[in-house]
């Protein structure tokens, strides 16, 4: 499956679309069960340690990715977790205060699921910095790893 990442010039948004060969409830569980999240979230070669993960409306998360270059900490709050939608904040602790609002909708394609996501950054500059950091590769590789978890 291919991941489509759209970042229109001059806007503070990133839109992500991806299909998975699994039912929506399986894809949702892979996003909300910490034992599964740790198996797929992050680029190839990264280890993940979950410090907090409470995937319910009002819950929060905090985790660390590590590789031979260092560690990268992320945190946020789950605003909405329902059977077909997750809305959360996302903050890379290396860029404090640059909080992104992320929404993901799961669309049932009859045994398959399409994810439609949107990230809203505080500024065009923050969005551009995220893209320049290699975010697109991280998203694509994470979803490749998610394919394996869902299989």
Q: Which residues of the chain have pLDDT under 50?
A: none
Partners of 100 in the beta sheet? 90
Look at the alpha carbons of 121, 124, 130, 135 in this order and tell me if their dihedral is positive or negative: positive
pLDDT given for residue 116 in this prediction: 98
pLDDT given for residue 23 in this prediction: 97
Interhelix angle 135-150/124-132, rounded to 10 degrees, is 60
Structural domains for the chain? 4-108+125-150 (3.30.530.20)
pLDDT given for residue 1 in this prediction: 74
């Amino acid at each position: 499956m291919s991941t489509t990442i759209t970042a229109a010039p001059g806007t503070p948004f990133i839109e992500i679309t991806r299909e998975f060969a699994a039912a929506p409830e399986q894809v949702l569980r892979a996003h909300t069960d910490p034992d599964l999240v740790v198996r797929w979230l992050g680029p190839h070669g990264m280890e993940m340690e979950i410090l907090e993960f409470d995937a319910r409306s009002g819950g929060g998360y905090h985790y660390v990715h590590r590789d031979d270059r260092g560690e990268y900490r992320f945190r946020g709050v789950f605003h909405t977790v329902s059977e077909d939608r997750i809305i959360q904040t996302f903050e890379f602790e290396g860029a404090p205060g640059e909080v992104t609002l992320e929404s993901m909708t799961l669309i049932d394609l009859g045994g398959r699921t399409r994810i439609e996501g949107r990230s809203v950054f505080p500024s065009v500059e923050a969005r551009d910095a995220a893209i320049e950091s290699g975010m697109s590769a991280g998203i694509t590789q994470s979803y490749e790893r998610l394919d394996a978890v869902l299989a």
